[in-house]
């Protein structure tokens, strides 16, 4: 019975950020229509499945030493999950680009939605697998995956235009994701650090949702 209530809690806490972000898009008049919003949400869900598939071929670095912890946190989890989200968003942006002009802020917005889709499915999985971190993840997963999704969406857009900037934007998402995971799993670190990283990363990423003067005409 407790697991059912936990699952319901995860569903509610995962759905609330999605609703708030859609309302935020409408308030800011960002041109993300409901169909593209839902498709981006589904892309985030599929990226979880792709990441899980890739991770199944990458062995867990056992031993419990410092190297194994950093390998698992930053490579096996953060890098693979962000790369999966990157790969999933490429065909989505290509499809959008055939129907309208896109810019970095629009792609960052779709990346944000994909990040929320990722967080929804991952929260349900981890919440049932490890109840001890359920509440912490319920509060922090959406903002940290939203922040990383924004950066990955921007990186996909920049890939063919500014490869160096795209690389550093992608790398920043991996570092944020890895640092967050490290704080989640480390009993030596206080939980508030994970909350701090998640919300600071999200707030700092919001600047990518603001179109520059040259981009406003394409919105």
Q: What is the 3-state secondary structure (H, E, C) of the chain?
A: CHHHHHHHHHHHHHHHHHHHHHHHHHHHCCCCCHHHHHHHHHHHHHHHHHHHHHHCCCCCCCCCCHHHHHHHHHHHHHHHHHHHHHHHHHHHHHHHHCCCCCCHHHHHHHHHHHHHHHHHHHHHHHHHHCHHHHHHHHHHHHHHHHHHHHHHHHHHHHCCCCHHHHHHHHHHHHHHHHHHHHHHHCCCCCHHHHHHHHHHHHHHHHHHHCCCCCCHHHC
Per-residue confidence (pLDDT) for residue 219, from 0 to 100:
32
Can you state the angle between helices 191-205 and 134-158, rounded to 10 degrees?
30
Q: Token match 């063919």: residue? A: 160
Per-residue confidence (pLDDT) for residue 190, from 0 to 100:
83
Per-residue confidence (pLDDT) for residue 152, from 0 to 100:
98
Tokens of 67: 């190297």
Per the CB < 8 A criterion, the answer to whether 15 and 120 are in contact is yes
Q: Decide: pTM greater than 0.85.
A: yes
Per the CB < 8 A criterion, the answer to whether 181 and 174 are in contact is no
* 219 occurs within a structural domain: no
Per-residue confidence (pLDDT) for residue 28, from 0 to 100:
84
* 217 occurs within a structural domain: no
**Spatial distance between the Cα atoms of 173 and 130, rounded to a whole number of angstroms:** 24
Per-residue confidence (pLDDT) for residue 143, from 0 to 100:
93
* 129 occurs within a structural domain: yes
* 218 occurs within a structural domain: no
Residue among 104, 41, 78 nearest 180 (CA): 78
* 157 occurs within a structural domain: yes
Per-residue confidence (pLDDT) for residue 29, from 0 to 100:
83
* 53 occurs within a structural domain: yes
**Spatial distance between the Cα atoms of 126 and 183, rounded to a whole number of angstroms:** 15
Per-residue confidence (pLDDT) for residue 133, from 0 to 100:
63
Tokens of 188: 């030596």
Structural domain total, the chain: 1
* Average pLDDT per 10 consecutive residues for the chain, totaling 219 residues: 64 81 89 92 94 92 79 94 96 87 91 93 67 72 94 95 96 96 84 91 92 45
* 122 occurs within a structural domain: yes
Find the domain containing 92 and state its range.
Answer: 2-212
* 110 occurs within a structural domain: yes
């Amino acid at each position: 019975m407790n697991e059912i209530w936990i699952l319901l809690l995860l569903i509610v806490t995962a759905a609330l950020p999605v609703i708030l972000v859609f309302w935020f898009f409408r308030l800011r008049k960002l041109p993300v229509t409901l169909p593209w919003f839902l498709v981006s949400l589904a892309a985030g869900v599929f990226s979880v499945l792709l990441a899980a598939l890739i991770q199944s071929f990458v062995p867990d670095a056992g031993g419990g030493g410092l190297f194994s912890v950093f390998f698992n946190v930053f490579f096996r989890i953060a890098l693979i999950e962000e790369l999966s989200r990157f790969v999933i968003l490429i065909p989505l942006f290509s499809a959008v680009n055939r129907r309208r002009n896109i810019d970095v802020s629009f792609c960052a917005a779709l990346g944000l939605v994909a990040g929320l889709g990722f967080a929804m499915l991952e929260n349900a999985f981890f919440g049932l697998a490890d109840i001890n971190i359920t509440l912490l993840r319920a509060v922090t997963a959406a903002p940290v995956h939203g922040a990383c999704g924004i950066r990955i969406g921007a990186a996909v857009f920049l890939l063919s235009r500014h490869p160096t900037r795209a690389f550093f934007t992608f790398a920043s998402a991996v570092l944020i994701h890895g640092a967050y995971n490290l704080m989640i799993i480390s009993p030596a670190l206080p939980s508030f650090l994970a909350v701090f990283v998640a919300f600071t990363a999200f707030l700092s990423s919001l600047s990518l949702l603001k179109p520059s003067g040259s981009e406003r005409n394409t919105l």
